[in-house]
Amino acid sequence: MPIGVMPMRSLLLRSSYIEISNILRGRAAALPRQCYRPLHAPRYFHARACPQQEPPKELPTFLEAYKRAIDFPPATHDFETFFVQAEPNTEVVLHGYLGQRSDLSKKLSFVRLTDPTLQHSLQVVAFAKNNAFEQLKALNANSPVAVRGTVQKKKAKASESESADKPAEDPWELALEEIHALNDFPKDTIMTPETVFPPEQRYLQLRSDVELREALRFRARAHNLCKEELEKQSPPFVEIETPLLFKSTPEGAREFIVPTRREGLAYALPQSPQQYKQILMASGLPRYYQFARCFRDEDLRADRQPEFTQLDMEMSFATGDDVMRTIEGVIRRLWSTLMKDPAPEGPFRRVPYREVMAKYGSDKPDTRYGMEIIRLDQLLPVDLIGKISDLEDPIVEAFKVEGNENDPAETHKFITQFLDSPAGAPFNNNPDGGPGVFIYNGKQPLCGLQPFGFQAAEHVEELLDPDHGDLIILQARPRGPFSGGSTPIGDLRRALHASSVSTGFKPAPTGFDFLWVVDFPLFSPFSDSEPGQGGAAGISSTHHPFTAPKTPADVDLLLTDPTQAIADHYDLVVNGVELGGGSRRIHDAAVQEFIFRDILKMPAERLDDFSHLLDALRSGCPPHAGLALGFDRLVAVMLGKESVRDVIAFPKTGRGGDDAMVGAPSPMTEQALETYHLKLRK
Amino acid sequence: MPIGVMPMRSLLLRSSYIEISNILRGRAAALPRQCYRPLHAPRYFHARACPQQEPPKELPTFLEAYKRAIDFPPATHDFETFFVQAEPNTEVVLHGYLGQRSDLSKKLSFVRLTDPTLQHSLQVVAFAKNNAFEQLKALNANSPVAVRGTVQKKKAKASESESADKPAEDPWELALEEIHALNDFPKDTIMTPETVFPPEQRYLQLRSDVELREALRFRARAHNLCKEELEKQSPPFVEIETPLLFKSTPEGAREFIVPTRREGLAYALPQSPQQYKQILMASGLPRYYQFARCFRDEDLRADRQPEFTQLDMEMSFATGDDVMRTIEGVIRRLWSTLMKDPAPEGPFRRVPYREVMAKYGSDKPDTRYGMEIIRLDQLLPVDLIGKISDLEDPIVEAFKVEGNENDPAETHKFITQFLDSPAGAPFNNNPDGGPGVFIYNGKQPLCGLQPFGFQAAEHVEELLDPDHGDLIILQARPRGPFSGGSTPIGDLRRALHASSVSTGFKPAPTGFDFLWVVDFPLFSPFSDSEPGQGGAAGISSTHHPFTAPKTPADVDLLLTDPTQAIADHYDLVVNGVELGGGSRRIHDAAVQEFIFRDILKMPAERLDDFSHLLDALRSGCPPHAGLALGFDRLVAVMLGKESVRDVIAFPKTGRGGDDAMVGAPSPMTEQALETYHLKLRK
């Protein structure tokens, strides 16, 4: 076994360096600039001399320490190789981080050395026989070092430094010969596996949080599996990069703009590679995919990032069916390779939008815990309806929450606490009426359903099949078709379930239930909250304006009642999370233009923004369909993380899209504004 | 073999649709908006009625055609599978694009069907026995179709439509039963494999140019190989995504800014993930890589893109040596897998900056064609020096171009043509003096070297070993150390060589000669052409301000003469192209801060912009080194392409960074400016 020998040289104590760097170490972002300057400043700093003119006699101690730090010996082994190849009484050099030192006597110390990956460690024994012993004692835990030592069989269990909770990985330990300080971990920073660091110190969070680091490795593995699955198709999907310096087009979300030095002109960052990928389909590249960075300048809603990654794909001569089958393969591959849960079998079921909205009150339902919604309005006595809503002729829906069979009082306590909590407030304050709450109780007249009257109560029992102690919730809404992502009763179902789990009233559901939500309306009433597609029709595309109508009958509806047209649009949903969505696209220029101009009523100048797409479609573009999976979200779901921030190395953390660590966004300088021919409005 | 049958339905002629779309087809960007509107407008367009109120009696023909186009039968086979599984007298449905139809008689036509990947094709025979024959005749070449037909053995060679130059891929042909038009390729667009389309019609270029499409597939394969090579290391490199919405920091190049809705605040797009990857090293993630999109708002110099992709990597506890070895493995893997040329063997040679500048007058030399530069000044007569330069005591360098042994007149013609051409002008106009040109001619006194005098001529002959007909070029430059990327004589060497190849005077060099250029100066005189690092010292970092000095001796020079310090910086060069560069980084906060403040003399507010990096280094960051390969450039070099535009799906083409196809950048709307609290300066 070849063993590199550390070059012999006198290793000075680093104490003077440590002293300076201790002072330098203050958290700079929070402190005024002077803190960067050492208080016990070496002469050099006082003199402020121009080095060329007046060279100082001595090198500042931090430069002396740095000279030693950069001249470190290469490792003879990484730890994994070492554990396999180690032979007693040979000399090795290993790199890594020091653990907490444990001084057994004035002449004997132990310390664990953790390897650069933070995945393996080894015990190092230091005897007071050489300089290294003193050098070790001068170093803080967590500091990076290069260590030369002699391999020896571990003496005894009792001699381990942090033994009890940290089982030794191997029978070897290192007798310290030489230790080379590479940098210094601040003594006053407390870092345990449990420490939660502020977002400004993301590097310390990453350094201390094995789960976070593992999430990033897991994410890379998931990326590779998606890639492999798409590339093994016949014909294979090909990863093609599309531009990020794009053009502002009214697709829906607000786009970030990137001013250029050409006065008044700007790029826009793409909200997705949608248009480029469709143009690729017109270009004879039939199967495209990309891990694409996308940007939306949105008000940061629950756990959204202004930049995010999507697994974006498109296939030509294809329908939504082909896309859904392909993506099911990707999901199955991910689950069968990376997850303990079984991979979903067979095609995922496809549920129309109207059905999920009726049954779950959500277009991305968690379907694992029952509580399905039924319609009751035609059965209910008028005075009961009047009690739960002031609406004229409302729709009344209901669902059941399985309660405590033995003790309806427990059910009562649960629902009361929920409705009295902040989580319950929006439901109590619903202008269409708060929820009507009934506890099914075999010991009460009509089992507690007296307000329903005999006939309706019987119907409710038939429909919901309640048991003693179950909760029955009623909610009214105005009569009308479904639109948007959820209904109040759907939100209530979700909130009640979340509360039932968090309070321990019910166990958390397990497993993964995938479904495709399909048959969305092609157009939805225009929502003011987003910039939209700039049309004047009072409606906007539910998915995006490139989505195709589903059937020839839906094409007919474009002329008679476009709001009734169904889109060939499919969302992949699992456990209440929308993993992604896609659609078949309009591949015909005349139809696309008709949608832009005559349905959405985009003004001429907005329509012009899409001329590149229309031109590409006009060049004999084949039919095509595609999808984008939110990759951050997918990984978070796989790892059971609440937030995408837990699967992103450097997430934006603030509501304003702040990267608190680097301090972005930051003030534009006057020079930058001038470069881009801009000034602030005031 | 399961055979899908195309659903039976009457397929109407699409002629009326074609008529409209022919008119619709004009290039929209270049034409006024009205061109979108069909001239022979169907009634619907005249009426401009709101569809809901006044439904037209008939559906416009383009919607009728679209209804048929979206309802197409799935393919029973892709072509590759078909070629393997085809059985005579079975019915199949295939998707693809029509070729040029060849009408053998009024009752018999042939047409090739090319598959969706444009990689395979098949002959289709149409007899005037069914509707399909007439339908086929109504369709333009290149239109996408679904075809149902009966498989049959190909009759005879003579029956092929475009037979001579296109060998049949297989013994099968298809007897046409039904043809389903999916869209229409414009009749007036001429598309041959040789057609060059303007950048606005990139989709047609991609569609017609098999080499361009292949370049994108090649690029994807190269991407995968780099990935595999890095991921198989021990410990493996892990792909980690870093933010693109970053902060403006004075690293060197001008950054694009991205205004936010928080007044006066902006993100900046990163010129590289440099700071984030160094922070990853401080975070205990020891081996990082990423195919990273980077942005530089530069004046578009020769073949640069404002956005580009780099293969970015970094490793901790490592030196430049480790990085260079790793990258050599990546290059070897690429060459051995994808290239006909042999993979480079052994470690690439490392040549110091001063040596390449002296020998080739370039820091990214093409080392394959000799023409090495030598210094002559101490040997030359004063009056010869005076003839080639007005400089006081210049350095005079020379190189030899092998000429025409048989005919020095040919050499004379070559050099005269070059110097008289626009390419020669900058050299003639060099204020330090134009090149001195000599043709070595055995038939002349002193072989044509009379102006050198006897002694110098002998020296020149010793140093350059010229043959009859060779060219000897002299060039003066001011005395002083090398700085920047090239010297005038280096530029002349390159230009003369390029001209010698393009005029056929010399054969083009072949093969790939990789080298590392190392030992760059740590700092260079400040260049006004770039925004720089904002320092007031008159020097800026040659690579970037995070680059480490190479040896302890170079650390000493920081205080005495920083301009003499050598950097641990290495560029990978092949055939005159810089593929990428990297460095060992400063991993010590005190030293990094010292460089920022005391060497570069950055003002306090610029220094503050780096506080996140200093904080991360201060948290016990291990030593680290890394590199970035320009991935666009690498792929272009592998494919022998002159321009990176040939390996990018949608490159920026204009000098101003235009995406001519989509029309980006585009005017900022007043609304966008208002959203971001901005207005134009005027």
- Per-residue pLDDT tens over the stretch A482-515: 999 999 999 999 999 999 999 999 999 999 999 9
Distance of CA B394 to the CA centre of its chain: 39
Return the structure tokens found at B264. Answer: 């006066």
* Spatial distance between the Cα atoms of B18 and B138, rounded to a whole number of angstroms: 9
Longest dimension (CA), chain A: 102
Instruction: Name residues whose C-beta falls within 8 Å of residue B521's C-beta, 6 or more positions apart in sequence.
Output: B353, B481, B483, B542, B563, B564, B565, B566, B567
- Per-residue pLDDT tens over the stretch B126-136: 999 888 999 99
A-proximal residues of B, 571-600, CB under 8 Å: 584, 587-591, 593-594, 597-599
The pLDDT-based confidence of B5 (bands split at 50, 70, 90) is: very low
The dihedral over CA atoms of A57, A62, A65, A71, expressed in degrees to the nearest 10, equals -90
A-proximal residues of B, 544-563, CB under 8 Å: 548-549, 551-552, 555-556, 558-562
Q: Please give the interface size between A and B, counted as residue pairs whose CB atoms are below 8 Å apart.
A: 531
* Residue A467, domain extent: 369-508
CATH number for the domain harbouring residue B479: 3.30.1360
**What is the number of alpha carbons within 13 Å of residue B431 lying toward its C-beta?**
1
- Residue B105 covered by a domain: yes
Interface check A70 vs B, CB under 8 A = yes
Among chain A residues, CA nearest to B601: A50
Q: Mean per-residue pLDDT for B299-308?
A: 82
Same domain, A391 and A491: yes
Single-letter code of the amino acid located at A456? A
* Spatial distance between the Cα atoms of A181 and A147, rounded to a whole number of angstroms: 9
Query: Do the Cβ atoms of B675 and A241 come within 8 Å?
Result: no
Tokens 């792929």, residue located: B635
Tokens 């881009």, residue located: A676
- Residue B527 covered by a domain: yes
pLDDT above 70: residue A664: yes
Termini Cα distance of chain A: 71
**What is the number of alpha carbons within 13 Å of residue B248 lying toward its C-beta?**
24
Among chain B residues, CA nearest to A648: B241
Instruction: Name residues whose C-beta falls within 8 Å of residue B371's C-beta, 6 or more positions apart in sequence.
Output: B399, B400, B401, B493, B496, B497
Q: In this structure, how many other beta carbons lie within 10 angstroms of the beta carbon of residue A408? A: 21
CATH number for the domain harbouring residue A596: 3.30.930.10
Q: Are A609 and A568 in contact (CB under 8 A)?
A: no
The residue that leads in pLDDT, B191 or A377, is B191
B-proximal residues of A, 479-538, CB under 8 Å: none
The residue that leads in pLDDT, B42 or A358, is A358
Query: Do the Cβ atoms of A217 and B204 come within 8 Å?
Result: no
- Residue B34 covered by a domain: no
Same domain, B479 and B524: no
Q: In this structure, how many other beta carbons lie within 10 angstroms of the beta carbon of residue B331? A: 22
Interface check A611 vs B, CB under 8 A = yes
CA distance B493 to chain A (A): 35
Q: Are A613 and A283 in contact (CB under 8 A)?
A: no
* Spatial distance between the Cα atoms of A375 and B440, rounded to a whole number of angstroms: 101
Query: Do the Cβ atoms of A257 and B257 come within 8 Å?
Result: no
* Nearest alpha-carbon partner for A674 in A282, A277, A261, A358: A261
Q: Which of A218, A241, A249, A555 to mutate to test the interface with B (most CBs of B within 10 A)?
A: A241
Q: For the ranges A346-350, A670-674, B295-299, which has the lowest average pLDDT? A: B295-299
* Spatial distance between the Cα atoms of B622 and A181, rounded to a whole number of angstroms: 10
Same domain, A489 and A563: no
Q: Which of B242, B615, B634, B647 to mutate to test the interface with A (most CBs of A within 10 A)?
A: B615
- The confidence score (pLDDT) of residue A131 equals 87
Among chain A residues, CA nearest to B620: A185
* Spatial distance between the Cα atoms of A609 and A605, rounded to a whole number of angstroms: 7
- The confidence score (pLDDT) of residue A533 equals 65
CA angle, corner B405, sides to B402 and B409, nearest 5? 95
* Spatial distance between the Cα atoms of A387 and A94, rounded to a whole number of angstroms: 76
- Per-residue pLDDT tens over the stretch B168-182: 556 899 999 999 999
Interface check B101 vs A, CB under 8 A = no
Q: For the ranges A177-181, B74-78, B297-301, which has the lowest average pLDDT? A: B297-301
* Spatial distance between the Cα atoms of B98 and B114, rounded to a whole number of angstroms: 6
The dihedral over CA atoms of A356, A357, A362, A367, expressed in degrees to the nearest 10, equals -30
- Per DSSP, helices labelled H in B25-127 are 43-47, 61-70, 79-85
Give the total number of structural domains in chain B. Answer: 3
Query: Do the Cβ atoms of B21 and A589 come within 8 Å?
Result: yes
**What is the number of alpha carbons within 13 Å of residue B26 lying toward its C-beta?**
14
A-proximal residues of B, 633-662, CB under 8 Å: 648-650, 652, 656-657, 659, 661-662
Query: Do the Cβ atoms of B202 and A284 come within 8 Å?
Result: no
Instruction: Name residues whose C-beta falls within 8 Å of residue B194's C-beta, 6 or more positions apart in sequence.
Output: none
> Which of A280, A614, A620 minimises the CB distance to B184?
A620
Interface check B36 vs A, CB under 8 A = yes
Instruction: Name residues whose C-beta falls within 8 Å of residue B386's C-beta, 6 or more positions apart in sequence.
Output: none
> Which of A116, A182, A238 minimises the CB distance to B220?
A238
CATH number for the domain harbouring residue A132: 2.40.50.140
Q: Mean per-residue pLDDT for A138-153?
A: 96
> Which of A262, A283, A608 minimises the CB distance to B656?
A262
- Per-residue pLDDT tens over the stretch B202-243: 999 999 999 999 999 999 999 999 999 999 999 999 999 999
**Over chain B, what is the mean pLDDT?**
87
* Spatial distance between the Cα atoms of B6 and B149, rounded to a whole number of angstroms: 10
Q: Mean per-residue pLDDT for A160-168?
A: 49
Q: Are A277 and A312 in contact (CB under 8 A)?
A: yes
Kindly provide the ipTM of the predicted complex, given to two decimals.
0.89
Domain boundary among B482, B508, B534: B508
3-state secondary structure of B523: strand
* Nearest alpha-carbon partner for B66 in A558, A522, A519, A322: A558
Q: Which of A611, A613, A671, A682 to mutate to test the interface with B (most CBs of B within 10 A)?
A: A611
* Nearest alpha-carbon partner for A592 in A613, A571, A570, A563: A613
The pLDDT-based confidence of B20 (bands split at 50, 70, 90) is: very low
Query: Do the Cβ atoms of A593 and B24 come within 8 Å?
Result: yes
Return the structure tokens found at B336. Answer: 């051995």
Q: Which of A263, A283, A613 to mutate to test the interface with B (most CBs of B within 10 A)?
A: A283
Chain B environment of A63 (Cβ under 8 Å): 555-556, 558-559, 591, 594
- Residue A91 covered by a domain: yes
Query: Do the Cβ atoms of A659 and B620 come within 8 Å?
Result: no
Query: Do the Cβ atoms of A622 and B36 come within 8 Å?
Result: no
Return the structure tokens found at B239. Answer: 């792909």
3-state secondary structure of B357: helix
Same domain, B625 and B525: yes
pLDDT above 60: residue A29: no
- Per-residue pLDDT tens over the stretch A283-315: 999 999 999 999 999 876 667 899 999 999 999
Return the structure tokens found at B258. Answer: 């991205």
Same domain, A233 and A114: no
Query: Do the Cβ atoms of B667 and A264 come within 8 Å?
Result: yes
Same domain, A447 and A464: yes
DSSP code string of A342-392: PPPPSSPEEEEHHHHHHHHSBSS---SS----EE-GGGS-HHHHHHH--SS
Chain B environment of A322 (Cβ under 8 Å): 74
* Nearest alpha-carbon partner for B116 in B172, B160, B66, B72: B72
Same domain, B391 and B520: no
* Spatial distance between the Cα atoms of A62 and A323, rounded to a whole number of angstroms: 60
CA angle, corner A278, sides to A275 and A281, nearest 5? 155
Q: In this structure, how many other beta carbons lie within 10 angstroms of the beta carbon of residue B383? A: 9
- Per-residue pLDDT tens over the stretch B144-169: 999 999 999 987 554 445 444 454 55
- What is the SS3 assignment for A228-272? HHHHCCCCCCEECCCCCCECCCCCCCCCCEEECCCCCEEEECCCC
Across the beta sheet with B436-439, what order do the strands follow? B374-375, B395-401, B471-477, B436-439
Domain boundary among B488, B508, B528: B508
Q: For the ranges A222-226, B221-225, B274-278, B484-488, which has the lowest average pLDDT? A: B484-488
Same domain, A434 and A484: yes
- Residue B248 covered by a domain: yes
Same domain, B569 and B641: yes
Chain A environment of B257 (Cβ under 8 Å): 258-259, 668, 672, 676
Residue A477 DSSP one-character state: E
Single-letter code of the amino acid located at B211? E
Q: Are B208 and B193 in contact (CB under 8 A)?
A: yes
A-proximal residues of B, 306-345, CB under 8 Å: 306-307, 309, 316-317, 319, 321-322
pTM for this predicted structure: 0.90
Chain A environment of B185 (Cβ under 8 Å): 619-620
- What is the SS3 assignment for B462-505? HHHCCCCCCEEEEEEECCCCCCCCECHHHHHHHHHHHHHHHCCC
Q: Are B605 and B590 in contact (CB under 8 A)?
A: no
* Spatial distance between the Cα atoms of B174 and A606, rounded to a whole number of angstroms: 46
Q: Which of A66, A287, A314, A530 to mutate to test the interface with B (most CBs of B within 10 A)?
A: A66
- Residue A267 covered by a domain: yes
Same domain, B504 and B566: no
The pLDDT-based confidence of B35 (bands split at 50, 70, 90) is: very low
3-state secondary structure of A163: coil
Same domain, B503 and B535: no
Q: Are A475 and A397 in contact (CB under 8 A)?
A: yes
- Per-residue pLDDT tens over the stretch A590-620: 999 999 999 999 988 888 999 999 999 999 9
- The confidence score (pLDDT) of residue B282 equals 98
Residue A21 DSSP one-character state: H
Q: In this structure, how many other beta carbons lie within 10 angstroms of the beta carbon of residue A181? A: 24
Query: Do the Cβ atoms of A659 and B204 come within 8 Å?
Result: no
Chain A environment of B593 (Cβ under 8 Å): 24, 36
pLDDT above 70: residue A38: no
Longest dimension (CA), chain B: 102
CA distance A411 to chain B (A): 47
Query: Do the Cβ atoms of A59 and B652 come within 8 Å?
Result: no
- Residue A259 covered by a domain: yes
Same domain, A373 and A504: yes
Interface check B267 vs A, CB under 8 A = yes
pLDDT above 60: residue A584: yes
Q: Are A236 and A288 in contact (CB under 8 A)?
A: no
Instruction: Name residues whose C-beta falls within 8 Å of residue B392's C-beta, 6 or more positions apart in sequence.
Output: none
CA angle, corner A263, sides to A260 and A269, nearest 5? 30
Instruction: Name residues whose C-beta falls within 8 Å of residue A636's C-beta, 6 or more positions apart in sequence.
Output: A642, A643, A644, A646, A647
- Per DSSP, helices labelled H in A99-195 are 131-137
Q: Are B72 and B53 in contact (CB under 8 A)?
A: no
pLDDT above 80: residue B22: no
- Residue A114 covered by a domain: yes
